Structure 1
């Protein structure tokens, strides 16, 4: 007879606790060195990746993340026994993805590690039969939300304000216009409400992070979230590669190009990679615009959770819809957003600049690792046969149309603000 483990705290609060613990440990001076994954074509065995020092760093990294994962499983009532079997497998697959992404040629074409981690997970998840207990032990949302809390440490308001208010103005205009258009389009195509909210946020705000934050705000279906994430990554790659060349063809300035890339490409890593292809000024502006959209992530998740509480009401005994109380709104609010905003405010206004510079490398590495672990898990638990059987092609068409609208509108706004 199976026993039900006690959930000590809700997953969103567990994420805040875990993310805060990592940040506090870093601020106290325990800085995990960044492992080396760089290697030239056909010479991976001749690099420093497999020397004792780098392997020790990888082992230290593993000990830290599995300790956090075990604590997360304990707090949320998941099986620690299964975690101890599953997590090392996910970690090793993720390290393989990071190794592939560290190749010089791969870096030259700007492919991110999360693309490899998702691909590896999808290959295994779709060509091999994975036991149900293995899938159940994959804490995808826990890992990605920890990454989102750590992402807050890199959203520094002073850096954004140094570039002036234009980045924030563009981010606000793009998010509002593109979100509303995507929402309207999904309604016209009769797409269900959960997918509508996730697609609208993913296209308009910041891709994968926004989709996950929205899913948390509406307590969305994880399979639908996987569908949206897959669409984001599929479209981000060609946009990342071809948009800089389109900007060059049309003779756009670096400022306009950077604002265009930062406002329309959905993943932060792809924005940085694409901006670096154009030049330093384009890289700077594109990063500022994307960070400005990241700042809006918390506000958007808050607004979406309130909207969802008012529109998705249940009927009472008399058959009338119940009005959402403040308690219902608070219960549905994604608590990890508090961690994201708190981390951003603390690192922007309370932590000395010198300390931020000291810890940012280690925290950024851990942030990227948690995202990569999450994408490996998403791939392992996603079966394309089930995914496309449950969802029509309409959401994909809606996403593509909304993305085209996003590219055009963002270019117009960027031209008027930065041209």
Structure 2
């Protein structure tokens, strides 16, 4: 797919807000759900459920109508080819969800997007992507729709009511870790796109931050997929070992939770790690993670303005004005912020409570489809050989700094809680 454009950004915002209107009006699609399974019997019970086929049909139709509307607005609708291709991508994503529902995998807190990415990589690198599967590979569009929907689940009151300490830690950690990561990337001579994406991924909220930053700077999809792979892979050992380090160090639940929430880069992994330490630690982990999610929209806005003013191809004597900044600014970031403001301050509390769950499910599926597409567009050789391993080295160094710095801040902010 071609690089993101203003037109595509508006399309993503339109599709996402139509989704929000429908869900808030009471139209909540019954999407496929798999409960935890541990053996062959429970596995077959899952996939032979009479309701599963209808749920798959609902998911496909919802995604197909959204994609068809998007392509129609872009004057590039090809219903037949899109339907067949999207069906294949949806089925791959559902296999990823089924794997994630395995009891062992579920207990680890590994999210569906990781397996969506891995399955896409497996198909692309082992068999190759068949021509019929390519028309619906719309990675950037799926990501932007998902990000706007993510804004509906970032509720400012939830963060404020939980206390200002989490916000304080998040602000200090995000800005400090971001600048340290940027400095490390510059030291390793990575280009500006890598610097921005890695710095945002490590400091803010992992995958979502990398995606938002890439959209804001019109980044290279190969670089984005590389950063996403690093986030997901490195989050796994952090999720497994950090809770036990917290226990060994006799951290209080508040400090341990704030440490986990401020360093682990995926929400599912934060919840899994926090659960190992009990409800109190989980509360603080969720608070800090949520506070960092709130900063995503602000960070994406600032990065967009900075990139437009300083990095776009303009003559030295003609810096872009407000009109140029508006034209180049990624509109899906505004969609994210508007959705968050809408659900935080405008809609009735009952409507917000009733619709958040369905919107979260749809957001998860859009991201799962996007990650499947990323895998289908990426070669393993690109991941492990890109820039001679320097992005991976920069990410790991920045993440190690993040772990120690966030721990120090957590002790200062929550040490007496």
TM range (shorter): over 0.9
Match of 1:62 in 2: 60
Provide the rounded CA distance (Å) in 2 between the counterparts of 1:196 and 1:24. 37
Q: Deviations over 1:118-166 (max 9, x none)?
A: 1111101111222567446411111122111111111111111111111
Do the aligned partners of 2:29 and 2:59 also contact (CA within 8 Å) in 1?
yes
Match of 1:337 in 2: 333
Greater mean deviation of Cα atoms: 82-91 or 188-197:
82-91
Match of 2:272 in 1: 273
Match of 2:183 in 1: 184
Do the aligned partners of 2:177 and 2:203 also contact (CA within 8 Å) in 1?
yes
Do the aligned partners of 1:261 and 1:271 also contact (CA within 8 Å) in 2?
yes
Match of 1:193 in 2: 192
Q: Confirm whether residue 261 of structure 1 aligns to residue 257 of structure 2.
A: no
Provide the rounded CA distance (Å) in 2 between the counterparts of 1:386 and 1:361. 36
Provide the rounded CA distance (Å) in 2 between the counterparts of 1:23 and 1:79. 23
SS of the counterpart of 2:109?
A: coil
Q: Confirm whether residue 33 of structure 1 aligns to residue 27 of structure 2.
A: no
Q: Confirm whether residue 153 of structure 1 aligns to residue 152 of structure 2.
A: yes
1:391 shift after superposition: 2.4
SS of the counterpart of 2:40?
A: coil
Match of 1:395 in 2: 391
Computed over aligned residues only, the root mean square deviation of the Cα atoms, in angstroms, reads 2.0
SS of the counterpart of 2:388?
A: coil
Give the ranges of 4+ consecutive aligned residues of structure 1 lying more than 6 Å apart after TM superposition: none
Q: Confirm whether residue 414 of structure 1 aligns to residue 410 of structure 2.
A: yes
Q: Confirm whether residue 379 of structure 1 aligns to residue 375 of structure 2.
A: yes
1:186 shift after superposition: 0.9
Q: Confirm whether residue 173 of structure 1 aligns to residue 172 of structure 2.
A: yes
Do the aligned partners of 2:314 and 2:320 also contact (CA within 8 Å) in 1?
no
Provide the rounded CA distance (Å) in 1 between the counterparts of 2:257 and 2:66. 37
Q: Deviations over 1:43-78 (max 9, x none)?
A: 244435532223322211221111111112222344
Gaps of 5+ in 2: none
Match of 2:229 in 1: 230
Do the aligned partners of 2:274 and 2:285 also contact (CA within 8 Å) in 1?
yes
Match of 1:298 in 2: 297
Gaps of 5+ in 1: none
The aligned runs of 1:64-143 (5 Å cut-off) are 64-78=62-76, 80=78, 81-131=80-130, 134-135=133-134, 137-143=136-142
Greater mean deviation of Cα atoms: 87-96 or 142-151:
142-151
Q: Confirm whether residue 360 of structure 1 aligns to residue 356 of structure 2.
A: yes
Do the aligned partners of 1:79 and 1:137 also contact (CA within 8 Å) in 2?
no
Do the aligned partners of 2:15 and 2:145 also contact (CA within 8 Å) in 1?
yes
Q: Confirm whether residue 328 of structure 1 aligns to residue 324 of structure 2.
A: yes
Provide the rounded CA distance (Å) in 2 between the counterparts of 1:167 and 1:341. 20
Provide the rounded CA distance (Å) in 1 between the counterparts of 2:17 and 2:125. 35
Do the aligned partners of 1:41 and 1:105 also contact (CA within 8 Å) in 2?
no
Do the aligned partners of 2:308 and 2:329 also contact (CA within 8 Å) in 1?
no
Provide the rounded CA distance (Å) in 1 between the counterparts of 2:5 and 2:299. 28
1:280 shift after superposition: 1.1
SS of the counterpart of 1:392?
A: helix
Provide the rounded CA distance (Å) in 2 between the counterparts of 1:287 and 1:66. 34
Provide the rounded CA distance (Å) in 2 between the counterparts of 1:417 and 1:283. 17
Provide the rounded CA distance (Å) in 2 between the counterparts of 1:189 and 1:347. 41
Go from structure 1 to structure 2 and tell me whether the alpha carbon gap of 1:192 and 1:45 turns closer, same or farther (over 3 Å shift). closer
Give the TM-score, by structure 1 length. 0.93
Match of 1:52 in 2: 50
Provide the rounded CA distance (Å) in 2 between the counterparts of 1:211 and 1:315. 25
Q: 2:21 aligns with which of 1, 24, 27?
A: 24
Do the aligned partners of 1:255 and 1:418 also contact (CA within 8 Å) in 2?
yes
Provide the rounded CA distance (Å) in 1 between the counterparts of 2:85 and 2:108. 32
Q: Confirm whether residue 245 of structure 1 aligns to residue 241 of structure 2.
A: no
Q: Deviations over 1:83-130 (max 9, x none)?
A: 222111100000101111111122122221111111111101111222
**Count of residues in correspondence between the two structures:** 411
